[in-house]
Amino acid sequence: MPIATARSTGIGSRLIGYRPRREPLWSSGQSFFSEAALFVLGAGGAYSLNIVGALPYSELFLLSILPVLLLARGRRAFDRQYLLFYLLAGGWFLGTQIADVYNGIGAFNRMKGTARVVFFIFDFMALAILINNKSRRIFVFTLSLAALLFISSLQFSDDFLLQWKFGLSNAFAILALLISSYFYKRRKYWICFSITLVLAALNLRYAYRSQLVIHVVSAVLILPIFDRPQTRATSASGNQKTVRLLILLALTGGVAYAANAAIKYAAEKGIFDESTNAKFQTQSEGDYGVLVGGRPETLVAIQAIRDSPIIGHGSFPFGLKYLQLKQDIQYEHGYSDTDEPEDTEYPIIPTHSHLTMAWVEGGILGGICWIYILILVLRGVLRLTTLRPHLAPLYTYLLVSSLWDILYSPFGSVNRMRAAFFILLSYFILRSPAKTAGLRHPIVNKIYRGRRIVRLAPVTASSPRSGLSRGRPLETGQG
């Protein structure tokens, strides 16, 4: 009988006379094709056709495989936890149809508005089936997003600032945070924090203010400041969640203020090019600072919602008065030196937000859908502060980015699939049990020693499930 030895600390172990057998990269052909399809769905969004608006190649591929996926594994897409999402997304679809009819929206814009909601639901179904709540497949799809962002950035190769803003920054961040996760698993938090600060500094240097805020907020959230032992009484009450939410809001406000000051200081010192320096200096003199100065559409969209809060304005609604209102707001608050709006061929009501777009175009049913998604993603972020899986640096960055997109980024084209993925990631995090988060093998015994989790696989010489019968070593390690 072979002899198993282990260090007294429980951190490592080995078997004398046995070599661990390397596991195959894919457990089956089905696993390979599922992950290949996931990667194509993500990376294929780098190219698109203009059929009914911009239709990414990934969604053309989706149309061909979704019927097969639904017939083979449709139950995964209709898991009970997704029921409320489908009901609210269906409400958004219904609200869009009502708003289009009520406002007399033309056939072409109506088709684009309908397709946007329908493909969003289809994207969610396909990803739910292919990902199947598996962390490995979340990892694969995240890599495909990095490939998508890098390929998309190449169209701006003549202007590095635009290339950095439109893809390269996010792709580089995903890869860097995967490296950060390696150190996070080993509790070398200062390295993780340093990597994120370097990313923030790069975005400051290349004038990408939203990513600057996202990275600093993410860096603070992955620190073990929320890692406190919980008693049964405190875990049962909502006081701890409320305190955590208040701390998160305070941190976000502090980071936004610091980012605004950093951008203003960099502009004064001439770090950016001449046009960027002039733009930031003008915006820094506005009433709401540099960060809000880049998003005047938010105030315009809120006014459009107030004008028609229940029915909405329909798909891609024209609104010359809202363009004028946007320019008036910029002028009154110091973000423009003229009150004359820019000439545009398609004067659509400006929204520049998932939430306000859905509410402006689809009425209150669209707004309720995205308010639910906003709360869902926020709950996922709060859950990460205590769950702290090994990929916490990456997960936190993705979900904080999703919060920003819901509030301040346009919805359409490849963003549909990204939004569907972020929703599934939030569900995955919320359903993960705290005691097994981040462990490679959940079917193991958990022994808690302070903050250390020691994993012991049950090993017997006669058990067919043991590592000894297959020439595998006894597994122990930190969680």
C-alpha torsion sign, points 312, 316, 321, 323? positive
Compute the CA torsion angle 136, 140, 143, 149 (nearest 10 deg): -130
Higher pLDDT: 129 or 476? It is: 129
Widest Cα–Cα separation across the chain: 86
* Concatenated DSSP letters of 245-310: HHHHHHHHHHHHHHHHHHHHHHHHTT-S-HHHHHHHHHHHTSTTHHHHHT-THHHHHHHHHHHSTT
pLDDT in tens, 283-333: 766 666 666 666 778 888 999 999 999 999 999 998 888 888 888 877 777
What pLDDT score was predicted for residue 441? 36
Q: Are residues 206 and 164 in contact, defined by beta-carbon separation less than 8 angstroms? A: yes
Residue 395 has pLDDT above 90, yes or no: yes
* Concatenated DSSP letters of 446-479: EEEETTEEEEE----SS-TTSSGGGT-PPP--B-
Using only C-alpha atoms, the chain has a radius of gyration, in whole angstroms, of 25
CB atoms within 10 A of CB 7: 10
CB atoms within 10 A of CB 70: 17
Name residue 13's beta-bridge partners.
6
CA distance 246 to 240: 10
Pull the structure tokens for residue 126: 């396909």
Residue 169 has pLDDT above 50, yes or no: yes
Q: Are residues 457 and 444 in contact, defined by beta-carbon separation less than 8 angstroms? A: yes
Q: 9 exposed, middle or buried (CB, 10 Å; 0-12, 13-18, 19+)?
A: exposed
Pull the structure tokens for residue 59: 């969604």
Query: Is residue 186 classed as helix, strand or coil in its secondary structure?
Result: coil
Pull the structure tokens for residue 449: 């020693």
Pull the structure tokens for residue 22: 């390397």
CA distance 177 to 173: 6
Q: Are residues 437 and 403 in contact, defined by beta-carbon separation less than 8 angstroms? A: no
pLDDT in tens, 418-445: 999 999 999 999 998 764 444 343 333 3
> What are the structural domain ranges in the chain?
30-436
For tokens 């808690």, name the residue: 448
Percent of the chain with pLDDT over 70: 77
CB atoms within 10 A of CB 49: 12
Q: Is 344 left (phi over 0), alpha (psi -120 to 50) or beta?
A: beta
pLDDT confidence bin for 22, thresholds 50/70/90: low
Q: Are residues 391 and 218 in contact, defined by beta-carbon separation less than 8 angstroms? A: no
pLDDT in tens, 338-366: 767 777 777 889 998 999 999 999 999 99
pLDDT in tens, 185-214: 998 988 998 999 899 999 988 888 889 889
Length of the chain: 479
Pull the structure tokens for residue 397: 């960055």
